Amino acid sequence: MAGTKSASTTLPLLTFVLRNYKNFNARATRDALLAYWEHIERGGKMFWAVAGAMSSAQLGITLAPAIRAGLIHGMSVTGANLEESLFRLVAHDGYRDFPDYRYFTKQDDTRILENRMRRVTDTSIPEDEAFRAVEKHIVPMWERATARGERRFWHEYFYELVRAVEPALHRGPPEECWLLAAAEAGLPLVVPGHEDSTFGNIFASYVRRGECSASIVKSGIEYMAGLYDQYRALSAGAGVGFFQIGGGIAGDFPICVVPSLKYDLDEPAPPWAYFCQISDSTTSYGSYSGATPNEKITWDKLTADTPMFVIESDATIVAPLLLGALLECKRHPAEARAIIEAHGA
């Protein structure tokens, strides 16, 4: 009993989840957390797919430490999440929050536009401190690549840029920038549909004016071709799990690597070893984001034995709680095992 009490004070988030999360979406969160940690303990890897506006919602507060702690081994993110992690690093002080956004009129949002802010639900990205400031640094990178005939993946430009930002220019805590953590770790990253982002649009404008060549950015097809090799490496041993926030291309693109290896390349490929999706898209007919995990069995992405979880809730609430508890487990693995056993989990 004394050991359990000690563990509970060392791991308050894990203790809270095990004590309180008994049913419904709470139970799914609890079970997904335990299965995630068990997978990591067995030497397994975890691949994250991040959609939505999670970088603007400051998921980096827990996501960056999780990357540094070895709880995340690869990622698929939207172009918006990629660039908005950088924005939070260089323009955090210029953001403005709008807790009363639900009561805004069209005129209220027009005033936000006139103030050169871009609203994302209850917060906003400052045009000049974020978009235009980053543009001054990344465009010369594109121009040099054009002159030299170089080609890179979209995230590689951002990996170079975020590491080159001098500490004096940081306006947000660098320890909370997941892009910086990923760049420093050399984390395998795919950014499918990167054209659908602010800097995707900015890049297109420079291509249209003939100032940059479209060929300096490798294509989505090349992302998938590279993911074949990344998946082989990540899935060795205990396998690699798939943790998805939201829906859309960030999740749809990478999860298809397994059937593509098997049916398109005619090569053996182990299935994903774990699956969890946090989404507020309820189960519905014809909605990929709202499809149950069972459907993925028919596409040979998962099997009947794959641990599967769907948490129908707000990822801005669930993901930091789950990551926080996992970080506790990583720091204190023996205590984590004791408290899990004490709760009969």
Task: Quote the mean pLDDT of the chain.
Answer: 94
The whole-angstrom separation of Cα 293 and Cα 275 is 8
pLDDT one-digit tens code per residue, 130-164: 999 999 999 999 999 999 999 999 999 999 999 99
DSSP codes of every residue in 130-145? IIIHHHHHHHHHHHHH
Which pLDDT value is given to residue 247? 86
Can you give the pLDDT at residue 285?
Answer: 66
Identify whether the C-beta of residue 120 lies closer than 8 Å to the C-beta of residue 91. no
**Residue reference for tokens 């992690």:** 85
* Whole-structure pTM value: 0.94
Which pLDDT does position 5 carry in this prediction?
A: 46
DSSP states of 79-102: HHHHHHHHHHHHHGGG----TTGG
d(CA 32, CA 15): 15
- How high is the pLDDT of residue 280? 78
List of the chain residues with pLDDT < 70: 1-8, 281-290, 345
What's the pLDDT at 284?
A: 65
Based on the number of CB atoms within 10 Å of its own CB, is 337 exposed (0-12), middle (13-18) or buried (19 or more)?
Answer: middle
Across the strands, what pairs with 241?
46
pLDDT at 288: 62
